[in-house]
Amino acid sequence: MEDLMQKIVSLAKRRGFIFPGSEIYGGLANSFDYGPLGVELKNNIKQEWWKRFVHQRTDVVGIDAALLMNPKVWSASGHIKNFSDPLVECKKCHTRFRVEGEISSKSLPKEIYDHIETSHPPKEGIPTVLGFESLKQDFTEKKAFNLMLKTYLGPAEGDANVVYFRPETAQAMFVDFKNVLDTSHRKLPFGIAQIGKAFRNEITPGNFIFRMREFEQMEIEYFIEEKDWEKYFDHWLEQMKQWLKDLGVSDTKLHYVDIPDGERAHYSKRTVDIEYDYPFGQKELYGLAYRGDFDLKNHMEASGQDLRYQNLETKEKFLPHVIEPTWGVDRSVLVALLEAYAEETVEQKERTTGEEIEDTTRVVMKFPAWLAPVKVAVLPLSKKENLMEIAKKIHAELSRQFVVEYDETQSIGKRYRRQDEIGTPIALTVDFQTVQDNTVTLRDRDTMKQTRIAIDKLADVIQEKLHD
């Protein structure tokens, strides 16, 4: 299974989905850049999410707030006090480790053992007692480490100028609640949605794009009357399940984990973590939380502004409660890549007018069509002027509607395999018959079946196939 992760990381780099960030300078720990295909894939996820949860609903509106907010936001939200990981620090080299739960002689994190063995190996002949005693001797006491990234606004670097990069997009929806309410005249229940970057100074980033310090979230704060919270909690859980199905995620890999009292985030009255069986273990993919009126109440107190909602019929004023479904964009990309990856033995040799494809295995990314970064590949069979000219015309025409890639390099077989590897659902080959009868070969990524289609029917046929 770990192997699958390596394959995904290397395919992502090789084909331009995701590169290590700042690579020519040796990288920057756990930062990644989305390449030409990665940005298309990621945008497809964000656009589908926005269409589904903002445009297609009458009860959700969107915002796009600033990443840097007044620091008072983070004291009111509890992030300055509570948004921290417990950690210990190695006294010799100051490396920090996250330690969850109570530390006892039996539950020392493996990373700590590994760290002592590799970075501070015992002197020859003197056996080390690795364990609780070593932790006490070599590491500092457990202390809370705040995960928010700090910076300074303006030329002076004093306490007065400290601001934090937002650790979640959610707070802007609470801070802007009144502005949205006043300008969009919504009635409860209604939601505010946002897609954007969030930053956390994670102690243990890793597993490719699973845990990063800079990542993207898609979040909705759905404002309700308190009495309705269970109904809308269930509603959003269903929406998240449907989303996962449409992303192509197998049900058997998903776990819906109710987080018990005492382990939930400081604001939450009920949380369901949606966890996924990654190659490196079962871990969080998305979350759904009932935040009560925690945030609005605190912002009302701290800002002195009346953030209550007024029921226009009864004239009653009260603070709405909130259901929060949250999706990580990068984890969505990671799961989409993991789920789509397939290696297949090709039983029959593929043949495209005159040329046979020798390769008997293929790597194919079986993305659902809506997710595929490129929808259609247009391939002239050879570098003959007349074939290339027709192919370029087809590209120009179809690219008004779809993301289309034109490729004239190497053999047709190699080009098919390249398109399989990036998950392009449809390949069109312009060949010698095209010149005679204005038809092209349409090859289906999954079945590898080839059919001949008239050029003037292409847009309709493709549209239909992509929405199958």
Residues of this chain that interact with ligand GAP (CB under 6 A) are 168, 170, 200, 202, 211-212, 215, 217, 219, 284-287, 324, 326, 328, 330-331
Nearer to ligand GAP, 206 or 354 (CB): 206
d(CA 20, CA 81): 33
Q: Of 333 and 448, which CB lies nearer to ligand GAP in the complex structure?
A: 333
- β-partners of residue 246 are none
Helix axes 329-340, 2-14, angle to 10 degrees: 100
Closest CA to 83 of 170, 208, 181, 174: 170
Residue 275 vs 405, nearer CB to ligand GAP: 275
Could you list the beta-strand ranges (E) of 102-177: 143-146, 150-152, 162-165
We find the least distance from the C-beta atom of residue 134 to ligand GAP, in angstroms, to be 29
At its nearest, how many Å lie between ligand GAP and the CB of residue 334?
9
Q: How does strand 426-430 pair with strand 361-365?
A: unpaired
Q: How far is the CB of 289 from ligand GAP (least distance, A)?
A: 7
How many Cα atoms occupy the beta-carbon half-sphere of 170 within 13 Å?
A: 27
CB of 414 to ligand GAP, least distance (A): 35
Report, in Å, the least distance between residue 249 CB and ligand GAP. Answer: 13
Structure tokens at 417: 């395999």
Please state the separation of Cα 189 from the chain's center in Å. 27
Work out how close the CB of 337 gets to ligand GAP at its nearest, in angstroms, rounded to a whole number.
14
Q: Which is nearer to ligand GAP, 127 or 262 (CB)?
A: 262
Q: Shortest gap between Cβ of 16 and ligand GAP (angstroms)?
A: 21
Name which of 330 and 350 has its Cβ closer to ligand GAP: 330
Q: Which residue's CB is nearer to ligand GAP, number 284 or number 397?
A: 284
Helix (H, G, I), strand (E, B) or coil at 32: strand
Return the beta strands (E) in 383-454 as ranges: 404-406, 426-430, 439-444, 450-454
CA angle 213, 329, 255 (to 5 degrees): 100
> Which residue has the closest beta carbon to ligand GAP?
328
Looking at the Cβ atoms of 211 and 417, the one nearer to ligand GAP is 211
